[in-house]
Chains A and B, each alone.
Chain A
């Protein structure tokens, strides 16, 4: 298929020199080391050979190697970050899950003042969503994430979360990963393209280490940051995520974040129980979304001097609530674990879900840096547990435990609130290390996702970006954008196919009968030529019996397409050809239609209504 379609998404041409990667050691080193000097020479030669192999790698391969380094760095930093949060929490709130009265109020309030001062005067970019900061780095600043932000996120978020603010460590972690990746990429002078891609690689590493969930991290980056399954970066993302998780586990252990007893779905009827949870989760995620969407602009509109006191005010409110309900403070993973073990009655579960929704709003809207992932997990678990308890009350025959409902609730709220359905499903499995919940999670998350989409058109991250004055590409919109294929634009008429052995008079006769049709010559299966109509018509009157279309002027062989190929891909192949044949994949000699530039452009201009028709 010499003239077949060219690869559209092939590997980008490396900017690094393409030289032989390795030089056989045997070719350089002497076979026998017969003196110390010769031995030293041998070692030096080997070293140089190795260094040469490393530093003259093609950039793609170097990028993959770098992804592992990014993963290890990110894993280490995330471990330190998590330890910092724990230390801060023990120091400020005490070791007990129920902090004593003065601490519970004073710690988040005073820490709030410090956080505000640091965020305003020292680390001015620590506020805001880490996901959007990564996207901004990728789409606006060529992969640049200031390293100061990494340091800022580390200390300010550790202080905020450790003091009891209702935020999580995942969002800062992913930004830290991206910041480290960006620093390494810049230091190693990667190409512009790779620099742009390196932020998502770091993001995956940071998130994977924070969640102890490499698959979810990879999926999240694809679903929310990149938006496509780009083969060019997927390998690096996976490597970074895996290496960061391995690093993290080396220090914090291999245990899943939550431990849930296994269960089985007794019958199809039980699916309804999870569908109900999906509806509740969808409603709750909408509530949280609307609460943030509504209140954030109002908070941003407050006078600037109030920014000094907003985190402290949020901390005070959280502390006051924490006197009676300390469970809502901080990331709350220990409480989620308790809920999964059925430690709370449904009334308390519902109350905790509602309070967490409220205090998370306080923390986030006050501009306290930190992530929304952990609160989402908390609210989802509490809501799931409550729905499960209520359903158990009315249907005691349900086999699933409260823990299972809590677990499914996590995925449900995650899908509804963050709008990453695939990530949500896999996250639940990875967080619990339990595959048995997959079917309920899929059912529940899809319902919640549907409800959230129906009543909140713009996803959370896009909304936050717009409120911050950034016009970042909407991954959800991009993900669901209609992709046109050749079939949408090709035409099946307006073409005449001539055979090499056909008499030219016959071809000319057919061409005269169809004055608008393009003339294609089928030399052999998979080889098409474009005939010059005028030349065919010119030769025909005086043609001998042996004159065939081969004798006419023609261009070719021309590339051909298949009906399922994307139109973007077709445009790349089209080049200067006025028309391209669309062949059958089953039979390359069979012409299914033709594609012209005008047809292609017309297809792109089609309105949705026309498309539906």
Chain B
């Protein structure tokens, strides 16, 4: 205390010394207490982490053994000792979700999400709960979060899997429009040399009616395995829907008969056959055969128009024509002589005009009386495909 003024020292020395001593004792006590607390704390943390890990391991074992209730209790116990452990929380949430207690799981997952908003796993679990609750907007949001989120192991495969799950969910909800871009993204992220995934993509493309892309994927698959039935069937469906009946028939022909007759293919196969039988534009046909096919098509269209007019109570010869059907029918009536089989055979340039008339009649009939069946439908489909080709 040499720095203090003499008067201060003389007046206050006992007090200063006393404080000095007490403070030194305080510091000593603090050091001892600190060391003791550190020791106790370390022992405690070691103990509870051991307990928590043991309970967590027990929970996992219970879960694997199918004892969900016991697993839940174990996870809860583990979490009680290590409340901020995200792995414990995630497992508990998963177990809760698996037990159908989505709302309880959701709470933990939201908590985890607030701590790590980019976690793919948490987003995926939340998406599944939202999907289970039929909450389309939430499910989409969380699935997107999972797709673009962080994955610790094999992120590419996980993202692909999540997107696939999203597509399945959307299609199961009938949200084809929302599913279509996701399926395209899935296709873009699928390696060409992975037939298993390509098959999944192809199926999803079929379900979202993206025929061109689906056909492309099926062709890739068939290039690797020309006899793969699913690919042939899928390719046939796509080709049929695209109006590529020759390709469709080629795939149908490569399929076993039993497969062709299955419900998903039978109708298309039947139609393709009918189209093949009616199409006058097929390559390799002689002029006579073409003329006969056109004549047959004209007769069919005529009958279809008459039946439709009868069904709807209108006269095909009404003048002036009021309906599309009347208008189309009357336009072709005056040319009937020119489209006699002999003239068609002699003047092949008339085939196109005659068939255009047939297609117009079929279209007008379909609009007035609903979709045609049988050969009429085959003609209508043929007309539609020709129209697409022309366009």
Residues of chain A whose beta carbon lies under 8 Å from any beta carbon of chain B: 16-17, 19, 23, 28, 45, 48-49, 51-52, 54-56, 69, 72-73, 76-77, 79-80, 83, 86-87, 90, 95-98, 184, 187-189, 251-253, 255, 259-262, 334, 337-338, 340-343, 401-403
Contact = CB atoms under 8 A, between A and B. Distances in A.
13 contacts: A16-B12, A48-B2, A55-B16, A56-B4, A77-B33, A95-B81, A97-B80, A187-B25, A261-B110, A261-B111, A338-B76, A342-B106, A342-B107
Interface string B236-264: 00000000000000000000000000000
A90 B47 contact: yes
Interface in B1-47: 1-5, 8, 11-12, 15-16, 18-20, 22-23, 25-26, 29-30, 33-34, 36-38, 40-41, 44, 47
Nearest to A342: B107
Contacts of A188: 18-19, 22-23
B35 to A, nearest CB: 10
Contacts of B26: 69, 184, 187
A60 to B, nearest CB: 15
A48 B41 contact: no
Given A56-B8, A188-B19, A261-B114, A334 B37 contact: no
Interface string B78-111: 0111011000000000000000000110111011
Contacts of A52: 1, 3-4
Contacts of B83: 255, 259, 334, 337
B89 to A, nearest CB: 9
Interface of B: 1-5, 8, 11-12, 15-16, 18-20, 22-23, 25-26, 29-30, 33-34, 36-38, 40-41, 44, 47-48, 51, 55, 73, 76-77, 79-81, 83-84, 103-104, 106-108, 110-111, 113-114
A401 B18 contact: no
Given A17-B8, A95-B51, A338-B76, A251 B38 contact: yes
Contact of B107 (A23, A45, A334, A401): A401
Given A79-B37, A251-B41, A403 B1 contact: no
Contact of A251 (B8, B37, B76): B37
B12 A401 contact: no
Contact of B33 (A28, A76, A343): A76
B1 A51 contact: yes
A80 B36 contact: yes
Given A28-B3, A95-B77, A188-B22, 20 more contacts: A55-B1, A55-B20, A56-B12, A69-B26, A69-B30, A76-B37, A90-B51, A95-B51, A188-B18, A251-B41, A253-B84, A255-B83, A255-B84, A259-B83, A262-B110, A334-B80, A340-B107, A341-B107, A401-B107, A401-B110
B20 A51 contact: yes
Given A86-B48, A189-B19, A19 B107 contact: no
B44 A260 contact: no
A97 B44 contact: no
A342 B111 contact: no
A509 B36 CA distance: 85
A205 to B, nearest CB: 14
A48 B3 contact: yes
A48 B110 CA distance: 58
A252 B41 contact: yes
The 10 residue pairs across chains A and B that have the minimum distance between CB atoms: A261-B110, A334-B80, A341-B107, A342-B107, A251-B41, A23-B3, A187-B22, A55-B16, A52-B3, A76-B33
Contacts of A28: 3
A80 B19 contact: no
Contacts of A79: 37, 40-41
Given A95-B51, A255-B83, A259-B83, A19 B4 contact: yes
Given A56-B12, A77-B33, A402 B107 contact: yes
A97 B76 contact: yes
Contacts of A45: 2-3
A83 B12 CA distance: 43
A19 B205 CA distance: 88
B40 A83 contact: yes
Contacts of B41: 79, 83, 251-252
A259 B79 CA distance: 12
> Quick one: which of A338, A340, A403 has the most chain B CB within 10 A?
A338
Contact of B104 (A251, A260, A342): A342
Nearest to B2: A48
Contact of A73 (B30, B51, B73): B30
B5 A19 contact: yes
A95 B55 contact: yes
A460 B254 CA distance: 89
B8 A343 contact: no
A262 B19 contact: no
A55 B47 CA distance: 43
A16 B19 CA distance: 12
Contacts of A342: 103-104, 106-107
B4 A97 contact: no
Contacts of B108: 341
A551 B80 CA distance: 86
Contact of A17 (B11, B29, B103, B110): B11
Contacts of B29: 73
A16 B77 CA distance: 55
A179 to B, nearest CB: 14
Contacts of B19: 55, 188-189
Nearest to B96: A343
> Quick one: which of A19, A23, A98 has the most chain B CB within 10 A?
A19
A338 B96 CA distance: 13
Contacts of B77: 95-97
Nearest to A256: B84
Contacts of A403: 107
Nearest to B5: A19
Given A341-B111, A342-B107, A402-B107, A189 B30 contact: no
Given A90-B47, A95-B77, A259 B15 contact: no
Contacts of B18: 188-189
A124 B37 CA distance: 27
